[in-house]
Amino acid sequence: MRAFLRRRSAELRLGVRTTVAGLGTFALAQALGLPQGYWAVFTALIVTQASVGGSLKASVDRLIGTVGGAVFGGVVATLVPHSDPLAFFGVLALTLAPLAFLAAIYPRFRIAPVTASILLLSSASQMGPLEAAAYRTLEISLGCVVALAVSLLVLPARAHSIALRAAGRMLALLSRQILLQCAQVLGEADAAATALLNNDIRRAQARLENLANDAKHERASYLTGAGDLEPVVRTLRRVRSDLVMVGRAAAQPLPPAIRDRLAPALRPAMETASRLMAGTGDAMAANGMPPPLEPMAAALDSYGAALAEIRREGLTRELPDDTVAGLFALGFALEQWRRDFEDLHARACEFGRPAAGR
């Protein structure tokens, strides 16, 4: 059980924060005598996210959408008579159409049509529309404030640190990908494993970009003094694109004669690159210094020398044009990956320094 809890510590902290936010909001709603305090509780549960930045963004988006929907719905319901079902249908259409269009353009308003429709369908039957709009805004605001306060005070988790761990996770996946690509070049490919790994990488990249966006909200709100993660995300995106190029260049296995000549240099180069990516990912997740680049540079230089030797001996002259193109495209893609990974390594070194302030 202890091992399980250690592995799931982030989820456990989120569960504690969500519980505290829900209970705290309920207590405040009861103390304030809000007529529909459950909306405040629902809001607190929805807004509480895995990081402070995520909770802040969710709070702002929900407040903007709620205020917009409540005010617009309340004004329309007040100005347009709707005493019979047909008139009420018209008021509902007049309220939802512009709000739905606005939400389609600006996603942060996506809660506005929901708020307006709830206001018209439920609250307006018990109290005046403007009064209902005021109460709904107060309830949502209470839930947002409590959720944000809990995120800041109860087992807080910064999006910056979570994003660095996500970057480490993505590098670990990319380190496995380059090994599979090496196997593909040498005729040892596992297509099923490659497809599954590509899906994992896509999900990891999407999660990293979402976390980096949450970290940006933390920085903009002065909730953290940590460095900007955008250069890391941008460079990691390029590294992944480079590996996609490597995979395309390795689409066809090499002829046996060429493969036997290149394998002693290609396999160590790819294995060294894989270890370096995995080690850099571990360092980023732990805010430590990544391993040095020199072993990777030496291994890739050895592969480049082996490729140049094959070309000097004229072994590529009798190969099909697409095979020759793929062979040299592989070398180009690896060199491009090398340059971009050196840039990523430099970013990892910046975050690994004690002066980075984390």
Residues 15 and 52 in one domain: yes
Is the sign of the CA dihedral 238, 190, 164, 106 positive or negative? positive
Mean pLDDT of 171-179: 94
- With 80 as the cut, is the pLDDT of residue 352 above it? no
* Rounded Cα–Cα distance for residues 142 and 48 (Å): 13
CATH, residue 316: 1.20.58
Q: 249-273 pLDDT, tens per residue?
A: 877 777 888 888 888 998 999 999 9
Q: 85-136 pLDDT, tens per residue?
A: 888 888 889 989 999 999 999 988 888 888 888 878 764 456 677 787 888 8
Residues 324 and 291 in one domain: yes
Alpha-carbon distances of 358 from 77, 226, 302, 341, 349, rounded to whole Å: 51, 7, 39, 24, 14
Determine contact, residues 184/250, Cβ cutoff 8 Å: yes
- Higher pLDDT: 315 or 47? It is 47
Residues 103 and 164 in one domain: no
Residues 22 and 131 in one domain: yes
Query: Could you give the percent of the chain with pLDDT greater than 90?
Result: 36
Residues 118 and 165 in one domain: no
Determine contact, residues 245/329, Cβ cutoff 8 Å: yes
Mean pLDDT of 216-236: 83
Which of 123, 153, 183 lies at the terminal end of a domain, its last residue?
A: 153
Q: How confident is the model at residue 341 (pLDDT cuts 50, 70, 90)?
A: very high
In degrees rounded to 5, what are phi and psi of residue 96?
-75, -35
Mean pLDDT of 332-336: 90
Residues 148 and 216 in one domain: no
Of how many residues is the chain composed? 358
Which of 153, 181, 205 lies at the terminal end of a domain, its last residue?
A: 153
Residues 133 and 241 in one domain: no
Residues 173 and 139 in one domain: no
Residue 122's pLDDT is what? 67
Q: How confident is the model at residue 324 (pLDDT cuts 50, 70, 90)?
A: confident
Instruction: Identify the domain containing residue 46 by its residue range.
Output: 2-153
**What is the tally of structural domains in the chain?**
2
* Rounded Cα–Cα distance for residues 20 and 11 (Å): 14
Mean pLDDT of 280-303: 91
* Rounded Cα–Cα distance for residues 6 and 346 (Å): 31
> Using N-to-C axis directions, what is the helix angle for 230-249 and 191-220, rounded to 10°?
160
Instruction: Identify the three-state secondary structure at position 287.
Output: coil
Residue 127's pLDDT is what? 67
* Six token digits for residue 147: 């959720």
Residues 305 and 264 in one domain: yes
Residue 260's pLDDT is what? 85
Residues 64 and 108 in one domain: yes
- Higher pLDDT: 313 or 197? It is 197
Which of 126, 153, 180 lies at the terminal end of a domain, its last residue?
A: 153
0.85 surpassed by pTM: no
Residues 316 and 177 in one domain: yes
Residues 142 and 280 in one domain: no
Q: How confident is the model at residue 357 (pLDDT cuts 50, 70, 90)?
A: very low
Residue the block writes with tokens 């509480």: 48
Amino acid at 357: G
Amino acid at 195: A
